[in-house]
A and B are shown apart, each in its own frame.
Chain A
Amino acid sequence: MEKLQQGKASRPATRAVGRTGHRFGEKLTAYLFILPSVFLIAVFGLFPIGYAFYMSLFRWRIRKGGYIGFEHYSDLVGSWGAALAFAVGLAALLVAHWLWTSAFSREGLRRWGRFIVALVLTAAGVAIALGWSTMMREGSEEFLASLVRTLFYALGTIPVQIALALVLATLLFQKIRGKEGFRMIYFLPYVTPQVAAAVVFAQLFSPRGSSLAPGSLSPANQVLAFLGIEPQRWLFEPRPLLELLFGEQITAFNGWLASLGVAWQLDGLWLGPSLALVSIIIFGVWTYTGLNVVIFLAGLGGIPGELYEAAEIDGANSRQKFWSITVPLLSPVTYYLTLLGFIGSLQAFSQLYVMRTPFARDTVDTASILIFDTFYKASNFSLAAAQSFLLFFVILFVTITQQRVMGKQVFYG
């Protein structure tokens, strides 16, 4: 009896041990399956990142020097306090956005919500402005300005290419003759080798015909001549586009500010990208619009046709259908393209490297270009590594912001 009881008692225990063993076996199998990927990611992904960070902590040019800790980082940002103020300011912007959206979702909080948002925004603005100006004054102006130019490039390319791609995709989705041919044509720039295409664009946007290089007009200047506009220096022009367009008005505005005793002037980076950078932005838009068109077309294929039929029955016109059905239902695709677009643009290199000229001075030197020069030309490996890490944090911040702000706007049907 005792034996029997013992036997009964031991059976569930054996089963439990068996289950545990089975589970362990399953886990082991799973780990073994992912082991190759983990190994590859660790060796070729994580280790180089870790090693780059390690390098950034040393005086490491051609050869490894002494340990310097975060000296490169503090040299780049100038002042940790200012950098913190700047970061807090940016974070406050996100908080303000959250307050704003939540205030509107609750009836009673509307008024107070707006008031609080206004306060947070003011604080954020002051923190960002003070932090940035101190960083520019005490840190590496060259590096910080390159970050701004990187943002110019991203903001100049992504919204335009996405808007253009959406319009083109919508048109191509209609029943038109030869749309397969158009799809291929729009996609071609993406599959064309970027360096080769950049060389061709450099010829298209040559300053030929301008005062710098008399002679036959470059294609871009031929277009301007057709429109009755003076030939431009394009890739050779370091002046900002706004200055070229509104030079006199800007001078007058700055004069007015000076007459009021305001020391600040509308100049430098405040005037936006140079014409040289704008020329490269045009190239970026040309390259990636086709890819976005193809992805948007896939997205359009997933929108049920009944929705459009129902809207037509309700009397909706084409514009209403586009804004009320197409745009919201494509928002996951738009979000995806924006996210990838920003990450890619912030890292953009080859087209900028090929198309830059000494005449554009440093106005097309984005962060990637500066990092490359620091590494290969100045052979300052550790400084380049530190610059890369700061760029990484910028990309991380932009991605998180997009996720927080845009992610909530996405409509999944």
Chain B
Amino acid sequence: MRRSILFLGLLAGLVLTPALAQENPYEGVDPSGQTVTFWHVHDGPNGEVLEEIVQEFNETNEYGITVVAENQGNYGDLFQKMLPVLATDDMPQMLLAYQNQAATYQLADALIDMRPLVESEQWGYSEEELGDFFEGFVKADVFPSFGGAQLGWPPNRSMEVMFYNQSWLEELGYDEFPQTPEEFREVACAAAENPFSDAQGEAAIGYEISVSASTFASWVFAFGGDIYDAENNRYTYDSPEAIEAMNFLQGLIEDGCAAIETEQYGAQANFGIGTTFTATGSSVGIPYYERAVESGANFGFDVTAFPHTTPDPAMNVYGPSVSITQAGTPESQLAAWLFLKHYTSPEAQAKWARVTNYFPVRESVAENLGDYFEANPKYATAFELLQYGTAEPATPGYDFVRDLVNEAMAAIFTGDDVEETLTDLNEESNDILLDQLSQMQ
């Protein structure tokens, strides 16, 4: 009897083993000798360090895989270059894409679902390795509208933060940066009335507002709301929190406590010369702000969370991920994945974070960045805020919606009715979303 059971067990194993192996299309695939193209947007020092990481991989990988990294301009340029070649063999094997762009590509089934690669026993991550990645970063690339597919893998993230002039704050008689919007109004208005003593210009701007969809989202998050209802798959630009946030900003402008950023990097330049008390931007911009201040009014400054009505801060975390396309064969897709594993390895991540000022995507890397945190306290402050991170929606057509958000912000800041403008914005945005989703098969 025991022998029979053993025999049946062996038989079942014989039948099931190939079946299980077949479930993962990458098990047993040989990526040797593959050449893969990687479209990215990094130039300057960021481009150089990426090239270094690529070279390192090309020279050390045991399969003789060659990665060719090609700069395609900015994110918009890359997106524009991708659209005409979607779902053709002219696509690169790998590319950088924001989540909403990845969603657009996937309307044409252009990307692969990385779950089989991530979960592969042969090529994927162990549970321990997977647990090293910040969960929120990885989840941002999981798309419920595409059956929970993992359409990207994060190499880095950054966050919308508030830059403020510490020296000016102290001149105004405050010990710390305001925590709530009402306190913020008080300080911003005080700054607008009392120019900074070391300023290199005559103006005094309490808060120089960037007209950007990410700034919009950040303020809505800070007021406890969201711009997207993931459950019902619709934008919520007309939520009470969004209306409250925009009324708040409109009030600041009307009272002369805030002004609009009218030129690209204008807020950063004005901040540097000490005429703008506070401005918002990506945490990646910290070194640029440092340079502007050093060559400008040379004062003490720091970064912090947006003033919030919620118990904890709510920070807008964003960043593109690397997607692998359907171009090529399983061999080349696997080769691309192996490079991605190298790119997100603790060693490469440490190198990448130190040069680019992006946040690493693995906890172990952050643990080893102690000296970098010490040398860059503002980066460390921003990193501490990551735990409060939330993200903008990963919806197809979001680029178009972002333009509409910018126009709505401009309208509000020049006096249009907030509720009416946001109602129109929401309606139009949802129409675009529906139109985009109608392309799904």
Residues of A within 8 A of B (CB): 61-63, 65, 202-203, 206-208, 212-216, 236, 357-359, 361-362, 373, 375-380
A279→B307 CA distance, assembly (Å): 38
A63→B396 CA distance, assembly (Å): 14
Known: A215-B202, A375-B83, A379-B436. 8 other contacts (CB 8 A): A62-B108, A215-B205, A359-B410, A359-B414, A361-B410, A376-B79, A379-B83, A379-B107
Cβ B275 vs Cβ A215 within 8 A:
yes
A216→B273 CA distance, assembly (Å): 12
A362→B435 CA distance, assembly (Å): 21
Residues of B within 8 A of A (CB): 79-80, 83, 86-87, 104-105, 107-108, 201-203, 205, 211, 256, 259-263, 270, 275, 396-397, 399-400, 403, 406-407, 409-411, 413-414, 432, 435-436, 439, 441
Cβ B407 vs Cβ A361 within 8 A:
yes
Chain A residues within an 8 Å CB radius of B256: 214
17 CB contacts below 8 A, A to B, read A62-B83, A63-B87, A63-B441, A65-B439, A213-B259, A213-B260, A214-B205, A216-B201, A216-B203, A236-B260, A358-B406, A359-B410, A359-B414, A377-B400, A378-B397, A378-B432, A379-B83
Closest beta carbon of chain B to A228's beta carbon, Å: 21
Chain A residues within an 8 Å CB radius of B409: 358
Closest beta carbon of chain A to B280's beta carbon, Å: 16
**CB within 8 A of B260: which of A61, A212, A362, A377?**
A212
Cβ A61 vs Cβ B259 within 8 A:
no
Given the interface pairs A63-B107, A63-B439, A378-B432, the reply to whether A358 lies near B263 with Cβ below 8 Å is no
Given the interface pairs A215-B270, A376-B80, A378-B400, the reply to whether A203 lies near B263 with Cβ below 8 Å is yes
Cβ B410 vs Cβ A357 within 8 A:
yes
A112→B389 CA distance, assembly (Å): 80
**CB within 8 A of B211: which of A203, A216, A359?**
A359
In the complex, number of A-B residue pairs with CB atoms less than 8 Å apart: 89
Chain A residues within an 8 Å CB radius of B263: 202-203, 206, 208
A218→B208 CA distance, assembly (Å): 17
A358→B205 CA distance, assembly (Å): 21
Cβ B262 vs Cβ A377 within 8 A:
no
Chain A residues within an 8 Å CB radius of B261: 213
Of all chain B residues, the one with the shortest Cβ separation from A374 is B400
**Closest A-B pairs by Cβ, 7 of them:** A215-B203, A358-B406, A377-B400, A358-B410, A62-B107, A359-B410, A213-B262
Cβ A358 vs Cβ B104 within 8 A:
no
Closest beta carbon of chain B to A225's beta carbon, Å: 14
Of all chain A residues, the one with the shortest Cβ separation from B411 is A361
Chain B residues within an 8 Å CB radius of A215: 201-203, 205, 259, 270, 275
Closest beta carbon of chain A to B437's beta carbon, Å: 11
Cβ A379 vs Cβ B410 within 8 A:
no
A61→B435 CA distance, assembly (Å): 9
Determine which residue in A62, A213, A361 has the highest number of CB atoms from chain B within 10 A of its CB, and name it. Answer: A62
A206→B262 CA distance, assembly (Å): 7
Cβ B205 vs Cβ A377 within 8 A:
no
Of all chain A residues, the one with the shortest Cβ separation from B399 is A377
Of all chain A residues, the one with the shortest Cβ separation from B105 is A62
Of all chain B residues, the one with the shortest Cβ separation from A377 is B400
Of all chain B residues, the one with the shortest Cβ separation from A210 is B262
A254→B403 CA distance, assembly (Å): 33
Closest beta carbon of chain B to A121's beta carbon, Å: 40
